[in-house]
Amino acid sequence: MKLTIDGREVLAQKEQSLLSLVRGAGLDSELLSARPLAARIAGEVFTLNYIPLREKDGEGDRPSMRRAMAASQGVIHLLRCRDSAGRDVYVRTAQFVMFLALSQLWPKATCTMDCTLGSSVFVSVRGAEDFSAARLKEQVAAIVRQDIPLLRRNVKKDAAIARYRAQGREDKARLLAWLDRDSCSEYGYGAYSDNFFGEMAPSTGYLTVWDVLPADGGFLFVYPDELEPDKLARLSPMPQLFGVFSEGERWCRLMECENVADLNELTVSGRIRELIRVNEALHEKRFSQVADMVCARGAKAVLLAGPSSSGKTTSANRLATQLRVYGKKPVLMSLDDYYIDRDKIAPGPDGKVDLEHINTLDCALFRQDMQQLLEGKEVSLPTFNFLTGKREWHGETLRLNPDSVIIVEGLHALNPVMLPENVEKNLIFRMYVSPLLPLNMDDHNRIPTSYLRLLRRIVRDYETRGSSVQRTLSMWESVRQGEKRWIFPFQENADVIFNSSTLYELAVLKKHIYPLLAAVQPEDSWFDEVRNIVKILDFVVEAQVDDEIPPTSLVREFIGGNTFYR
Mean per-residue pLDDT, 348-375: 87
- Find out if CATH 3.40.50.300 is the number for domain 239-565: yes
- At residue 505, the pLDDT reads 95
Q: Provide φ and ψ at 179, rounded to 5°.
A: -80, 125
Report the alpha-carbon distance of residue 281 to residue 273 in Å, rounded: 12
Nearest to 192, CA basis, from 114, 105, 253, 277: 105
Q: What percent of the chain has pLDDT over 90?
A: 72
Residue pLDDT, tens place only, 440-479 = 999 999 998 889 999 999 999 998 888 899 999 988 888 8
Label residue 496 left, alpha or beta by phi (over 0 means left) and psi (-120 to 50 means alpha): beta
DSSP 242-269: HHHHHHHHHHHHHTT--BHHHHHHHHHH
Q: How many helices (H) and strands (E) does the chain have?
A: 16, 21
With b for 16 or more beta-carbon neighbours within 10 A and e for fewer, the 23-47 pattern comes to eebebeeeebbebbbbbbbbbbbbb
**Across residues 278-290, what is the average pLDDT?**
96
| pLDDT tens, residue by residue, 30-76 | 999 999 999 999 888 999 998 888 766 444 444 344 566 777 888 99
What span, in angstroms and rounded, lies between the C-alpha atoms of 36 and 296?
A: 54
Show me where the domains of the chain are located. 2-80, 85-222, 239-565
User: Which amino acid is it at 57?
Assistant: D
- CA distances to 264, 434, 449 from 543, rounded to whole Å, are 9, 23, 21
210-264 pLDDT, tens digit each: 999 999 999 999 999 998 999 999 998 888 888 898 888 888 888 899 999 999 9
pLDDT at 1 over 90: no
* Mean pLDDT over each residue of the chain, to the nearest integer: 91
pLDDT at 55: 67
pLDDT over threshold 70, residue 429: yes
Q: Of 2.40.50.140, 3.30.980.10, 3.40.50.300, 3.40.1390.10, which CATH number belongs to 85-222? A: 3.30.980.10
Using the Cα atoms of residue 436, residue 442, residue 443 and residue 446 in order, give the sign of their dihedral. negative
End-to-end CA distance of the chain: 59
- In tens, the pLDDT along 378-408 reads 999 999 998 899 999 999 999 999 999 999 9
Return the SS3 of 542. Answer: coil
Q: What sign does the CA torsion over 547, 551, 553, 557 have? A: positive
Using DSSP's 3-state secondary structure scheme, residue 523 falls into coil
**Whole-number Å distance between alpha carbons of 393 and 25:** 60
Phi first, then psi: what are they for 19, rounded to 5°? -60, -45
Dist CA 45 CA 535 (whole Å): 14
Residue with more model confidence, 427 or 61:
427
pLDDT at 63: 37
Taking residues 511-524, report their average pLDDT: 87
> What pTM was estimated for this model as a whole?
0.90
DSSP 149: B
The Cα 22–Cα 151 span in angstroms is 18
As a whole number of angstroms, the distance between CA 535 and CA 365 comes to: 46
The reply to whether 239-565 shares the fold of 85-222 is no
> Per-residue pLDDT for 355 more than 60?
yes
Per-residue pLDDT, 58: 47
